[in-house]
Amino acid sequence: MIECENLVKIFKTKELEVVALQGLDLVVEEGELTAIIGKSGSGKSTLLNIISGLDRPSAGKISVDGKDLLKFNDRQLKIYNRETIGFVWQNNARNLIPYLTARQNVEVPMLITNKRRRKEKAMELLNAVGLTKRHESRLRELSGGEQQRVAIAIALANNPKILLADEPTGSVDSKTTFKIMEVFNNLNSTLKVTIIIVTHDMKISRMVKRVVAISDGMIGSEMVIKQDYSKKLSEIGVYEEKSETHDEYAVVDKKGRIKIPEDILSYMSVNSGGKLKVKKSDEGFLIYRE
């Protein structure tokens, strides 16, 4: 569904040049639910904006659903964004119109595209996120978690193939985070929509099968779930703060570069510019500091 190859994004001002992405490679399969985790400034939101068509890369390639986004003009990018992408922002002020009800908010994207059966479709989506009884509520009458679930319903109003969420749990507590992630998992299972969630919260990784760690504008590692913990977490209603739910893998990009995760480098006391030795063994390859 999504293929990024050697993506570079440079932001320039008169006095400053910032490299947000530096040769990033990423493939996301159709129907996947993927979390992209990284610290502030790691490049994860920049990547999301490029996938959504809200920004263009400085170099590299990106294709979505078989379409080369670099060949699109501005008008084509707008159509692509409207028809292919659903976007959930962290700031609810960007998601919701405060003087409209939850149902009316969900209908807004359908008004723009002249869809029929808007009321019925809006109610179907609110039911999918567990807010049928709150359809006549306005922004001030909804909790933070409920507002974010309305935002998810809005993002799905035009049947997008990809749902992107930028820090969707950044302003809610752990219990509400769990409920929101449960919604994403249910939508992924029932609608088969491809979902990418960008976050700095490692707790979210316990609710998705694939986690991509990004740092310094590059993919640092990937984590794949060992077993499904969602049922267990649902029963207890909280996250385990520390649990080995995933296997972590270093990633080799198309240029043969390996980015060692920062916590491992710190453990090995390797600073920037430090040297590591790679040695073949009977069990594979060893990376160590002499």
Structural domain spans, the chain: 2-101+152-256, 260-290
User: What distance in Å separates the CA atoms of residue 18 and residue 21, rounded to the nearest whole number?
Assistant: 9
pLDDT at 238 over 70: no
Asked if 63 and 3 touch (Cβ cutoff 8 Å), the reply is: yes
User: What distance in Å separates the CA atoms of residue 12 and residue 21, rounded to the nearest whole number?
Assistant: 13
Instruction: Please give the pLDDT value at position 128.
Output: 93
pTM above threshold 0.85: no
Instruction: Please give the pLDDT value at position 13.
Output: 81
Task: Give mean pLDDT, residues 141-153.
Answer: 92
DSSP 158: T
pLDDT above 90 coverage of the chain, percent? 46
Q: Is 272 left (phi over 0), alpha (psi -120 to 50) or beta?
A: beta
Instruction: Please give the pLDDT value at position 64.
Output: 95
Identify residue 249 by its one-letter amino acid code.
Y
Instruction: Please give the pLDDT value at position 216.
Output: 81
Which of the four pLDDT bands, split at 50, 70 and 90, describes residue 246? low
Domain 2-101+152-256, second-level architecture = 3-Layer(aba) Sandwich (3.40)
User: What distance in Å separates the CA atoms of residue 85 and residue 242, rounded to the nearest whole number?
Assistant: 34
For the stretch 64-88, pLDDT in tens is 999 999 999 999 999 999 899 999 9
For the stretch 40-63, pLDDT in tens is 888 899 999 999 999 999 999 999
